[in-house]
Structure 1
Amino acid sequence: MRRVRTLLLVAVTAMACGAPAVAPPPQPAPPAPDPGLPSRLVEEVTGEGAFAHLAELQRIADANGGNRALGTPGYDASVDYVVGVLRGAGYEVQTPTFDARRFEVRQEQLTVDGGPVPVSALGFSPTTPDAGVTGPLTVMAGEGCNPADAGAVTPGSVALVRRGTCPFAQKATHAAGAGALGLIVINTADEPLDDGTLGEAATGVVPTGGVSRSAGDALAGRAGAAVTLTLVTTVELTPSRNVLAQTRSGNPDEVVVAGAHLDSVPEGPGVNDNGSGVATLLETAVRLGANPPVTNAVRFAFWGAEETGLVGSTTYVQGLSEEDRNRIALYINLDMVGSPNAGYLVYDGDDSDQEGDGPGPRGSAAIERALVEGLAAAGVQGAGTDFSGRSDYGPFIARGIPSGGLFTGAEEVKSAEEAQRWGGTAGEAYDRCYHQACDRLDTIDRTAVDRNADAFAAALARFALSTDELAAG
C-alpha cells in the first residue's frame, strides 16, 4: 500500500511540473474469431491432460483425511489448486463465498424385533432422540408419493416405503402427516441407500433412513414388528466458495458458461464424482486460454457444496440480476465423466426420450445435439438421460437458461443393450464406487474421460463462436 502511494505522489508531482503525462500501454486488440477453433481445441484437449489434474485431486484428498467435502481442508486445497491453474493460464479468478448447511450423521441404527438391520440416514434427516424412536412397523402403499399412500400408517408408528419417482421429502412429508415417528426407505438396488437426501429446505418431515432392497423386502412382510430407529444428526452453517473465471476476449453480453462441482462427499475422495468433471473443465480452460479467438465470452465455474443440495450453483444463479442472467446464453454441465462401467449419456434437452421430467428451456435441444455430435466424432454413440435435477444444471434450468451436459452414470445399472453398444458389464452399476471411499484414481475409465473431453471441447468452442443455433430450439 505504501509503495502505491509513493508512485502516485511521483506521478502527480511530475504533472504539476509540466512533464507530459505517460499514457498507459495500449491493450492488444482481441483476436478475431477463428472458425478452426473447435477442431484445434479437440486436438489440444486430451484425456491425459485431464488425468494429470485428477491425480492432483486424488493427492489432495489423500493428504486431507480422504475427501474433499464441504467445510474440509481437502475442499479448501482443491479450490487453491484450481485457482492456481487458472491464474497460471492467464485468467482473472474470483472465489465468491456463500454459506451452506453441512449435514453430519453421528449415529444410525435400526432394530426390528430386537434384531439389527443396516440403515443409512438420508441427507438432512431430522434427528431422533439419542435413544431413537420406537413404534410398530407400518407399510405405505405404492411409492408414498400421495397422501392416500399413507392410509395404513398409524400415529406413533415407523413407516416403510419403497424408493421411486417422487422426492424422498415428499414421502417423508406424507408419513409425518399420518403421525409416523420415522420413515424407512427401501432402495431399488441391493445396496445401502446412502445417496439419498431430503434436501436442506425440507420441512414437516420425519427422521428418515434407507435400507437395501433385500433388507427392505424382508421388512415389508413384517408389519406390526417392534421397530427402533435411531438417527442422530446435526446441521451446521458452513462457509464455502465457488471458483469463477472468464475469458478476456469474446462478447461479455453473450456468455457461454460451463461448470462442474468441485466438492466430494465425506465418504471418499470423489475422483469420478466429480474430479472427472473438474479435471475435464480445467484441462479445457487451460487449452482454450484466457484470450481465445472467440465471438462470445466463456465462463468456467467450479461449484461448491453440490453434494449438500446444489448450494453453490443455486446461490450463484439466484444471485444474478435480471441483466446478468440475460447475459448468459447457455450452460453446459460436467458431472461424472469417467465412470468405470461408463455409459455415454447426454442430457435430453428436447425430451425426445419421453422419460422423467420435460425438456429444458428453449435452446437445450441444440446443446444436446452438439454434444451428441461431439461424442460421435470421438467414436461413440451417445444416448439421452433425463434432466432429473441431480446436478448443477438444475438452477440454470429453473431460471430459464438453455442447458445441457455429459454424464457417464452413477449407481444406476447398465442394461444389456447399453453394454452391447458401449462395452462394459451389463447388470452392474455404471460406477460401483459412487459416493464411496473406493471412488479413486484407479477406478477411472480413461477412455471415457478422453471421449467426453473431446465432445465437450468441440461443443464449447462451437458455441463460443456462435449461439445462433439456440434459436432453433
Structure 2
Amino acid sequence: MAILRACTTLACVAAVASARQLPIVAADEYPSTPSYPVYTGPSYNSTNGTNGTTIDTKKLQADIDINNLVARAEELAKIADLSLSEYNHPTRVIGSLGHEGTVEYIYSEIAKLGDYYTISNQSFPAVTGNVYESRLVIGYDVPSSASAMSLTPGTKGKEPVYGQLLLVPNGGCSAGDFPVNMTGAIALIRRGTCTFGDKSANAGRAGADAAVIYNNEGGGLSGTLGSPSPDHIATFGISAEEAAPYVARLQNGTKLDAIAYIDATVDEIMTTNIIAQTTAGDPENCVMLGGHSDSVAAGPGINDDGSGTISLLEVATQLTKYEVNNCVRFAWWAAEEEGLLGSTYYAENLSEEENQKVRLFMDYGNANGLYQIYNATDEENPVGSGALRILYEDWYKEQGLNYTYITFDGRSDYAGFLDVGIPSGGIATGAEGIKTEEEAAIFGGKAGSQYDECYHLLCDNITNLNLDEWEVNTKLIAHSVAVYAKSFDGFPKRTPEIETRSLEQKKSKPLFRYKGNDLVM
C-alpha cells in the first residue's frame, strides 16, 4: 500500500497557483541544504545571451554528452532510494520522498543556471487511488477476468453488496439507457461510446449499487474511472468472453443475482510541476517541451521517464551557451503516471492569451527499443502538428536511422495540449508493447519481446538504459529546440482561421481511449 505524505519541500509548498499566474521563485529562496544528492557534473553559468553566440543546431547537438546524461541518471537513482523507508524499494511516485527529491533536484539544477531562466512552481491537486481487495460473484461463478477499475470507490461501507444483475441495453451513456428500477441492482454495461467514468456515474444516478463493464473486444478490461465524481459507484471490468453467457441469459429473461465487493480509497495530494522559461527570446512566440518527473510506485523509473527528465535538463543546461530568438519553455510534469494530471492541469488552466503564446508543444519520453514518431497530421490535429512530424522524419533520415510511427492515443502528455488546440508532436521508443517481426528486422532485437522488459517494474533502474538510443534522441531534442528557438519561419501561425479549423477538428475527432497508461473508454 502506498503511503501518502504531505508535501513539505519548497517545490511542493512554494505556491498553490493556476497556470494563469505562476509564481516566480528566486534562486536565492531555494534551500541551501537540499535533501537530495547533488549532481557533480559540468555546470554552466548563464550569460543570458551576452556572449553573442546565436543558437545553432549542430553546435547544440554536439554539446550533448552521454557521460553527462549517465551522471545525472546515477543521481536520480540515489534520489529514488530516498523512498526506501516508505516503500521498501526505490521509487519516485508522487507523494514519495523520491518524487519530492526529484522535483527539488530539477529546480536546483535550473536555479544554478542563473538568470538565463525564470523558474515557476505550479502546485495542483492530484488524485490517487488504491484498491486493496475486490471480488465479484455472478450467480455461482467468480469471473476470473474481473478487476476493479482504477479510482473506483469502494462498495457501501466497504462491505459486499448483493443485488440483481441488470443488463443496460444501450451502452449506459445517458440516463435513458437504464432500466426504470435500478435501486440496489448491479448494472452490467457494455464498453463503448463514452468513458467508464460516465457509465459508472450514470449507473450510480440510476440507483445501482455497483457496475460491471464488459469488454467489446477480446481480452480482459482494466481501466480507470478518471476524475472522481460523487455519483461513481464501485465498478469492475470483465472480459467479453466471460460476459457473453450472462448477457445471453439476461436477454432471454433469466434472472441472475450478483455480489460485488471492493475495498478502495481515492485520495487527493498536492504535487508540483516545474516550468523553466528563457528570459530572452520573444515571449509571444514560445517553443514548449516537456517530460514527466514521476515514476510508478513499483520502481525507480530511471528509464520511464527518468531518461526524458534528464534529457530535457541537459538540453536546458547546454542551451545557456546560446542566444535564442524565441522563448523556450521547459516543463517537468508531475503525476503523469496517475493519468497525465500535471500536463492536463497546466494546459487546461492556460488563459486564452497565454495559450496563444505557445506556438507548439513537444512531448519527450524514455529511450528503449526503437525510434517512433507521433504520426501527427494537420488534417486530424491542430495545424502545425504535421510540421513537427516532418522535422523528426528529416532528422532521423539525416542520421541514416530507421523510424516508425505511433498514433496519438492519449497515453502521454501531448493529450492536454491537443485538447486545447496547441500544435503538438513528439517521439517515443516503445513501452510494454511487443516488437514485431518487421520491427526486429528494422531495428534489431528479438521479435515477440517487449520493447522495454522493465517497463513499470522494479528493474527500471540504471541498468535499464539504452545509452545509444538515449544519446540519439537527446540530440534530436536539442535539434528541435534549436530550430524553433531560432525561427518559426515556415511554421503555421496560430491565426483565428487556423484556430477555428483546429476546434472543428477536435469536435469531430473521437475521444482518446487512454488517459496516460489507463484506458478511459
TM-score (normalizing by structure 2)? 0.71
In structure 2, C-alpha distance between the alignment counterparts of 1:238 and 1:179, rounded to whole Å: 30
Match of 1:41 among 51, 57, 60: 60
Q: Cα offset for 1:274?
A: 1.6
In structure 2, C-alpha distance between the alignment counterparts of 1:111 and 1:229, rounded to whole Å: 7
Match of 1:315 among 329, 345, 353: 345
In structure 2, C-alpha distance between the alignment counterparts of 1:202 and 1:413, rounded to whole Å: 35
In structure 2, C-alpha distance between the alignment counterparts of 1:414 and 1:151, rounded to whole Å: 42
In structure 2, C-alpha distance between the alignment counterparts of 1:423 and 1:154, rounded to whole Å: 58
Q: Secondary structure at the match of 1:413?
A: coil
Residue in structure 2 matched with residue 272 of structure 1 by the alignment: 303
Once the two structures are overlaid, the 10-residue window that deviates more, 401-410 or 443-452, is: 443-452
Question: Using a 3 Å threshold, how does the CA distance of structure 1 residues 413 and 395 change in structure 2: closer, same or farther?
Answer: same
In structure 1, C-alpha distance between the alignment counterparts of 2:437 and 2:204, rounded to whole Å: 40
- Does 1:197 pair with 2:221? no
Question: Using a 3 Å threshold, how does the CA distance of structure 1 residues 203 and 361 change in structure 2: closer, same or farther?
Answer: farther
Q: Is the Cα contact below 8 Å between 2:433 and 2:450 reproduced in 1? A: yes
Match of 2:70 among 48, 51, 58: 51
Q: Cα offset for 1:56?
A: 2.5
User: CA RMSD for the aligned pairs?
Assistant: 3.5
Residue in structure 1 matched with residue 460 of structure 2 by the alignment: 439
Q: Cα offset for 1:464?
A: 0.9
Q: Is the Cα contact below 8 Å between 2:145 and 2:220 reproduced in 1? A: no
Q: 1:64-463 to 2 correspondence within 5 Å?
A: 64=83, 65=87, 66-90=90-114, 91-111=117-137, 113=140, 115=142, 117=144, 120-129=147-156, 130-135=158-163, 155=182, 156-157=185-186, 159=188, 167-170=195-198, 172=200, 181-184=210-213, 193=222, 196-201=223-228, 204-210=231-237, 217-218=241-242, 220-221=244-245, 227-289=258-320, 292-335=322-365, 337-339=366-368, 342-350=369-377, 359-463=380-484
In structure 2, C-alpha distance between the alignment counterparts of 1:445 and 1:139, rounded to whole Å: 49
Q: Structure 1 vs Structure 2: percent identity of aligned residues?
A: 33
Match of 1:61 among 63, 76, 80: 80
- Does 1:466 pair with 2:496? no
Q: Cα offset for 1:101?
A: 2.2
**Deviation sequence 1:350-406 (CA, Å, 0-9, x none):** 16xxxxxx6321111111111222333344222222222222212222222211111
Q: Secondary structure at the match of 1:96?
A: strand
Q: Cα offset for 1:219?
A: 5.5
**Deviation sequence 1:6-27 (CA, Å, 0-9, x none):** xxxxxxxxxxxxxxxxxxxxx9
Residue in structure 1 matched with residue 3 of structure 2 by the alignment: none
In structure 2, C-alpha distance between the alignment counterparts of 1:315 and 1:387, rounded to whole Å: 19
Once the two structures are overlaid, the 10-residue window that deviates more, 196-205 or 459-468, is: 196-205
**Deviation sequence 1:415-454 (CA, Å, 0-9, x none):** 3222222223333443344333333333333332222212
In structure 1, C-alpha distance between the alignment counterparts of 2:326 and 2:189, rounded to whole Å: 52
Q: Cα offset for 1:349?
A: 2.0
In structure 2, C-alpha distance between the alignment counterparts of 1:165 and 1:49, rounded to whole Å: 47
Q: Is the Cα contact below 8 Å between 1:187 and 1:210 reproduced in 2? A: no
In structure 2, C-alpha distance between the alignment counterparts of 1:47 and 1:176, rounded to whole Å: 53
**Deviation sequence 1:313-350 (CA, Å, 0-9, x none):** 22222333333222222111112x223xx232222221
2:263 maps to a residue whose letter is: V
Question: Using a 3 Å threshold, how does the CA distance of structure 1 residues 28 and 72 change in structure 2: closer, same or farther?
Answer: closer
**Deviation sequence 1:119-160 (CA, Å, 0-9, x none):** 543322122232233456678889x58679x89999523537
Q: Cα offset for 1:414?
A: 2.9
Q: Is the Cα contact below 8 Å between 2:49 and 2:322 reproduced in 1? A: no
> Please, which runs of 5 or more residues in structure 2 have no aligned partner?
1-46, 250-255, 499-521
Residue in structure 2 matched with residue 23 of structure 1 by the alignment: none
Q: Secondary structure at the match of 1:117?
A: coil
Q: Secondary structure at the match of 1:366?
A: helix
In structure 2, C-alpha distance between the alignment counterparts of 1:422 and 1:168, rounded to whole Å: 37
**Deviation sequence 1:197-231 (CA, Å, 0-9, x none):** 221155754423346x6xx6456446667654332
In structure 2, C-alpha distance between the alignment counterparts of 1:187 and 1:423, rounded to whole Å: 35
